[in-house]
C-alpha cells in the first residue's frame, strides 16, 4: 500500500526527472563531441526531441494533479463559494470528456503508425514509441481527473 501511495504522489515527477537527466546528458555529450572533437552525433537531437514529446504528454497528468494548469481564476474567486464549486466541477467534467475524446483518436494515430511501420530517421526506432506518448499522457490525465473527483467528493463528505 505504501508503494502505491508513493507512486501516486511521485510517479510523474520520477519520469519527468529521468527524462530531463537523459536529455541533459545526451545534449551535453553532443556539445562535447561537436566542439571538442569536431564530430557531430546524429541521433542526439532526435532522441532529445522524442524525450521532450514524452515529457510534454506526461506533464499533463502532473499538472492536473498539482492543479497548476494555465487558468484565469480572478473572476471565479469573486463569486460565491457555491458558484466556485459548480464552475470547478464543470471544468473537470469538460476536461474529462476532452481527454477521453483525445485518447480515442490517439489510438487511431498509433494504429496508423503501426500499420505504416515508419522508423525515425537517425535512431531507426519505430515511430509508434513516440506516438504512444499521447495515449499514456491522455490516460494519465483521465486518471488524475477521476482521482480529483474522488478527492473532492471525500472532502465534501468530511465538511
The mean pLDDT of 139-146, rounded to a whole number, is 95
Residue given cell 485518447 in the structure block: 103
Residue 156's pLDDT band (cuts 50, 70, 90):
low
pLDDT the model gives residue 103: 97
- In DSSP terms, 119 is beta-bridged to 126
pLDDT at 86 over 70: yes
pLDDT at 34 over 80: yes
- In DSSP terms, 126 is beta-bridged to 119
pLDDT at 126 over 90: yes
3-state helix, strand, coil in the chain (%, to 5): 80, 0, 20
pLDDT the model gives residue 88: 87
pLDDT the model gives residue 141: 95
Write out pLDDT tens, residues 103-124: 999 999 999 999 999 999 999 9
Residue 63's pLDDT band (cuts 50, 70, 90):
very high
The mean pLDDT of 37-64, rounded to a whole number, is 94
| DSSP H or E run through 111 | helix 81-116
The mean pLDDT of 88-115, rounded to a whole number, is 95
Contact partners, residue 77, CB within 8 Å, separation at least 6: 84
How far is residue 117's CA from residue 46's CA, in Å, rounded to a whole number? Answer: 18
Classify each residue of 135-153 as buried b or exposed e, where b means 16 or more C-beta atoms within 10 Å of its C-beta.
Answer: bbbbbbbbbbbeebeeeee
Amino acid at each position: 500500500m505504501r508503494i502505491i501511495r508513493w507512486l501516486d504522489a511521485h510517479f510523474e515527477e520520477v519520469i519527468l526527472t529521468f527524462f530531463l537527466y537523459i536529455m541533459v546528458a545526451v545534449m551535453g555529450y553532443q556539445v562535447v563531441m561537436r566542439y571538442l572533437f569536431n564530430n557531430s552525433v546524429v541521433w542526439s537531437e532526435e532522441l532529445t526531441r522524442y524525450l521532450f514529446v514524452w515529457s510534454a504528454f506526461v506533464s499533463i497528468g502532473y499538472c492536473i494533479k498539482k492543479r497548476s494548469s494555465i487558468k484565469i481564476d480572478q473572476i471565479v474567486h469573486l463569486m460565491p463559494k457555491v458558484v466556485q464549486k459548480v464552475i470547478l466541477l464543470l471544468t473537470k467534467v469538460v476536461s474529462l470528456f476532452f481527454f477521453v475524446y483525445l485518447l480515442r483518436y490517439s489510438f487511431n494515430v498509433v494504429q496508423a503508425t503501426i500499420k505504416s511501420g515508419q522508423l525515425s530517421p537517425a535512431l531507426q526506432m519505430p515511430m509508434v514509441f513516440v506516438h504512444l506518448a499521447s495515449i499514456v499522457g491522455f490516460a494519465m490525465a483521465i486518471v488524475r481527473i477521476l482521482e480529483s473527483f474522488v478527492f473532492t467528493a471525500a472532502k465534501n463528505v468530511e465538511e
